[in-house]
Amino acid sequence: MDDFILQLKLIVVFSFYAVLLGSIFIYNAYVRRNNNEGVSGSLHFEEIPKGMRWMPVLASVAGLYIIGYSLLFLIDPDTQNHYFPVLAMQDTRISILGMSLVVIGMGIFLSCQFQLGRSYRLNFPSEKTRLITSGLYSISRNPLYIGLYMAFFGVFLMLPNWLYFFSLLFFIFNYHFKIKILEEKFLLEQFGDEYRDYCSRVRRYL
């Protein structure tokens, strides 16, 4: 049973990163074909308060650890027993829960990409886009982030590791800061009363 669960973990972790990176590159090609900008857009780094500009830098380091630890597991599955593992959580039932969260989270993430269409960006678009308020966006203003966080947390449950956990917490906190301080301000400037009305009807998360 342990060998079977290990094989499932390897398949799920590999599939997660393959789908995540593949979907981003596919959308990059799609968006560039339609408006020559691509998914990156603008970082708006200059709008981050000076005292908080260390946050995205540290979040990048945390993100690299999250991805690096996962890739190390794919290369050497015994990695899950090293680098500050949470031994008490190395349980088959917890691993199965983690796999389920990865599948559900990526389903939400891909659905959001599909719903956003050409409005999808990793950062801020340089040109006018549409405000998407239907589908999953009628339930949450940021369902794409929810799906992504769910998937990454699912990986944590599969590969419980203290450094991964704290890296993920900071990664999520940084993106909450980005959403609240930068994205919502940007959307308010772009869509005005339409976005105010949307915020009054739909919560930031759930």
Q: Once rounded to an integer, what is the mean pLDDT over residues 64-72?
A: 92
How many helices (H) and strands (E) in the chain?
Answer: 7, 0
pLDDT at 33 exceeding the cut of 80: no
- pLDDT one-digit tens code per residue, 96-116: 999 999 999 999 999 998 888
pTM, rounded to two decimals: 0.86
- pLDDT one-digit tens code per residue, 107-143: 999 999 888 876 666 655 556 677 889 999 999 999 9
Class of domain 2-201: mainly alpha
Which carries the bigger pLDDT value, residue 55 or residue 96?
96
pLDDT value of residue 44: 58
